[in-house]
Structure 1
Amino acid sequence: MKVRKANFTDFDQLAELFDAYRVFYKQDSDIEGAKQFLQERTERGESVIYVAEEEGHLIGFVQLYPLFSSTRMKRLWLLNDLFVATSHRGKGASKLLMGEAKNLAKVTEAAGVILETEKTNTVGNQLYPAVDFKLDTEHNFYYWDVE
């Protein structure tokens, strides 16, 4: 298994993984929409995607978006998406992908990587502390939807 930065030849396989990720989060399946979304983010330089690959097949990915911290006066990376195909879980792909996310923060001299996950995401809530992410219990998370 190897982890590398995604390239334009990956979008068909990556779209299938991204679609499965979205379905996991209770969204309707839309593989063509997923492919278009990923291509647009990449073409516009709006995200960085790393893929886990085994025997020529993509088995997982992590997608990060650039943000900035005004108080730290540095870039931050938002780890927005992490997914490994069900058939390949438990083999270390998530930890390798998280390692690439952390390395991206280091090489871009960012302040760090932030993420959120549902409280019910048992696997993620075990993974993140295992790869040295700390749970923020001091801040409230708020959001506002346009709809």
Structure 2
Amino acid sequence: MNSTRKATIQDLFQLAELFDQYRIFYNKESDIPAAESFLKERIEKADSEIFVAESEGNLTGFVQLYPLFSSTKMKRYWLLNDLFVNGNYRGKGFSKELIEEAKELAKSTNAAGILLETGKSNDVGNELYPSCGFEIYDEVNFYEWTNR
């Protein structure tokens, strides 16, 4: 049976493995101990919301959202920063189920909405997000400054 729910500290081991796979997908070095430490801190400090998908007791994917605030709307937004489903479970609706969890979080916290970014070359994401009701927002330029 497939389900989604909020992650707990008991999920840490399996969640860290999924998070490591996610980072490898983005060309980062594998580091499960660091992934576990990072996620443990997020869960314990409650500074992000993490939902997991599972099938037959195995975690299959996760979504992680961070709070942002809009001064002009005087409301919270949620940044959908991470969405990942293990390759063995793709195409079975887990991503959409996780996005629905994110939408429920936005509704339950009276947020203005959910923001996300994905690469122009991410064909799967660029089909997935509009199919889940997201609209491309091209009225602004997105800039980044990095502290090297």
TM-score by length of 1: 0.99
1:26 lines up with 2:22 in the alignment: no
Runs of 4+ in 1 over 6 A off after TM superposition: none
Alpha-carbon distance in 2 for matches of 1:52, 1:14: 10
Three-state SS of the structure 1 residue aligned to 2:28 is coil
Three-state SS of the structure 1 residue aligned to 2:69 is strand
Alpha-carbon distance in 1 for matches of 2:146, 2:69: 21
CA RMSD of aligned residues (A): 0.5
2:53 corresponding residue in structure 1: 52
Alpha-carbon distance in 1 for matches of 2:121, 2:137: 16
Summarize the alignment of residues 64-143 of structure 1 with structure 2, pairs less than 5 Å apart.
64-143=65-144
Alpha-carbon distance in 2 for matches of 1:103, 1:94: 14
* CA positional deviation for 1:133: 0.3
Three-state SS of the structure 2 residue aligned to 1:137 is coil
TM-score by length of 2: 0.98
Alpha-carbon distance in 1 for matches of 2:52, 2:24: 19
For 2:31, the aligned partner's letter is D
* CA positional deviation for 1:42: 1.1
Alpha-carbon distance in 2 for matches of 1:122, 1:87: 19
Three-state SS of the structure 2 residue aligned to 1:100 is helix
Alpha-carbon distance in 1 for matches of 2:25, 2:75: 33
Structure 2 unmatched ranges of 5 or more = none
Summarize the alignment of residues 4-19 of structure 1 with structure 2, pairs less than 5 Å apart.
4-19=5-20
Alpha-carbon distance in 1 for matches of 2:47, 2:121: 29
For 1:48, the aligned partner's letter is E
* CA positional deviation for 1:119: 1.1
